[in-house]
Structure 1
């Protein structure tokens, strides 16, 4: 869900919980048995309840909680069973259940960086086909997210639910302590070039106070390559070029300057 580009998956398909559940509801309704002729009263009208099991990881639960009550109120025959767990655990369980052909949830989140692993395991259907017909939502999606959810053979094997926007955060108080201007316009100008960024990073870093300008020099690569195509349309490597070498050089210079804390991404440190 970076989270960068989290996706939802069903044991035999990938569903966006906010949009595609409408398809799921229609499918459940279409498959529900009709009441016997002549049957009347509350017993005949009481719908059979269906439980939809959802796997995800913390952070997404806030999004779920924002609509669960309204969803269940509007669909009394459907109960959502939301199960949250650490990302790695969720991915491992989902891979194992797909490989075994049993035990997968109805809906699950997949981190976009790992979706190829799930496609390779099988169990994901083409959402462009019946009964999903997700192609009608294509024009409502950001093009690159739709491409990320598509396989090389043209199938839609995932359904995106966010675009993971990001921005630049900084501590005004620490900038001021380092004798640097702290207003957004000045900070933007100071950090608009790599030499300027590195100079600011050096002034902000103070190992004696356990303070570094960035978590890891690898962040330089991640923030520049995140959500970019690493291959061109012909599947040739698109990062084997001068710009990629330049980014690697920047990361090397940041590490040599001692401005990163040398902790991995998503670390609790």
Structure 2
């Protein structure tokens, strides 16, 4: 069982954190000079219209600072694609020098926490992953970008409520970052297998069909009778619903003991009895890949960026896969990241100019989407080139447009410093309920009781810190 959890964690890290891009694990530092980036070209800033005040207007966005701003900033990330984005940034801000430092995702967050706590050595801008943001939520660690001169709230209407609030402090009083991407959970399926078994294959029709638990179990039973799996991991619907609601609200009330969780856990236990999942990664394990190649995997839930992995790993199955929304009414984001400014940054103006460009520039987003990064900002998702994009591997579906429809349905959740400890308590009892067929409501009450008992002192500590008393 421990090996399964290690595999599951590895799968989540690979699939949701890397957003389908190459990770540089060597800690390389790349400097991009303004001369290299702007040679022989006219800058966007020179051709765009003055927006009044200090800022420049590019792609309809009124940036805080105009192109005359100067400075040198260090940017930490786990992704090399920002080399190309920095070159585009320097076409608008030719006098800002950005040093990109790449390192592994885990190493980055550890180093960021160490340098922030030490009071020196932190970068001017850092890439951060959503599950890691609780490490930096305490007041005084990161710049509150809702305050002048950043005034990030003027961009509020460009983002969904979920995407905006996940980058706030737990009490919602400080905005720690502008949102960047979204990773909506979706359901990939083999159209040929679903058709062969007599089920809908149109994405919208199948998506509606699979909202009914009875239909889901009928599909699972039919597949199982033919040696085919419907899911990848046995507990996915309950686990992913939990990912959607989180563990605690802003007052640290426990959230995973509700009627919906009980219903999904009941469905999971029935699905397990039908052998609906091989309990292994089908993308990142040799055994799982073999199952896919043998036609024994009909579908699986994952983040939207899994499409790129499918195409890379199984190129001969192009046109056989499609995508629809998750079954059973589960709406969830399976990852995401953004960019923050540590309080110790010595060039916050240039850092903010860089972040505005990273998150809002159309030219930057044309680079990101090629790496399977889904924008969470409406002035990009409404553009014709975005809406009309098709994915031939997924049968010609307008994939970007479809993924965008899921953003608004993702519920708001809080990320807290106690989520990791709460997960350990939760998953142990969920597996006990599945293995021993324990009543779902009984086990969920036990999970809540155990969580509040074991984490009670830490909850009080967090509330005291948050309330300033």
Aligned-pair RMSD on alpha carbons?
A: 3.9
Work out the number of aligned pairs and report it.
Answer: 231
1:157 to 167, 176, 189: 176
User: CA contact under 8 A between 1:95 and 1:121: conserved in structure 2?
Assistant: no
User: CA contact under 8 A between 2:234 and 2:272: conserved in structure 1?
Assistant: yes
Are residue 224 (structure 1) and residue 223 (structure 2) matched?
no
Structure 2: distance between partners of 1:261 and 1:127: 45
1:259 to 265, 272, 276: 276
Residue deviations 1:15-34 (CA, integer Å, cap 9, x gap): xxx999x55x66993xx6xx
User: CA contact under 8 A between 1:202 and 1:213: conserved in structure 2?
Assistant: no
1:138 to 150, 156, 161: 156
User: CA contact under 8 A between 1:221 and 1:248: conserved in structure 2?
Assistant: yes
The equivalent residue for 1:13 is none
Structure 1: distance between partners of 2:142 and 2:68: 19
2:145 to 127, 133, 136: 127
The equivalent residue for 1:80 is 98
1:212 to 206, 209, 229: 229
Are residue 108 (structure 1) and residue 126 (structure 2) matched?
yes
The equivalent residue for 1:93 is 111
The equivalent residue for 1:56 is 77
1:224–1:68: structure 2 CA closer, same or farther, 3 Å change rule? Answer: same
Bigger helix fraction: 2
1:143–1:182: structure 2 CA closer, same or farther, 3 Å change rule? Answer: closer
Structure 1: distance between partners of 2:137 and 2:283: 27
Written as runs of structure 1 = structure 2, the 5 A alignment for 1:18-57 is: 22-23=63-64, 29=69, 50-57=71-78
The equivalent residue for 1:172 is 191
User: CA contact under 8 A between 1:176 and 1:182: conserved in structure 2?
Assistant: yes
Structure 2: distance between partners of 1:157 and 1:19: 24
Where does the alignment leave 5 or more consecutive residues of structure 1 unmatched?
A: 7-17, 33-49
The equivalent residue for 2:374 is none
1:158–1:263: structure 2 CA closer, same or farther, 3 Å change rule? Answer: farther
User: CA contact under 8 A between 1:27 and 1:131: conserved in structure 2?
Assistant: no
The equivalent residue for 1:39 is none
Q: TM-score, normalised by structure 1?
A: 0.67
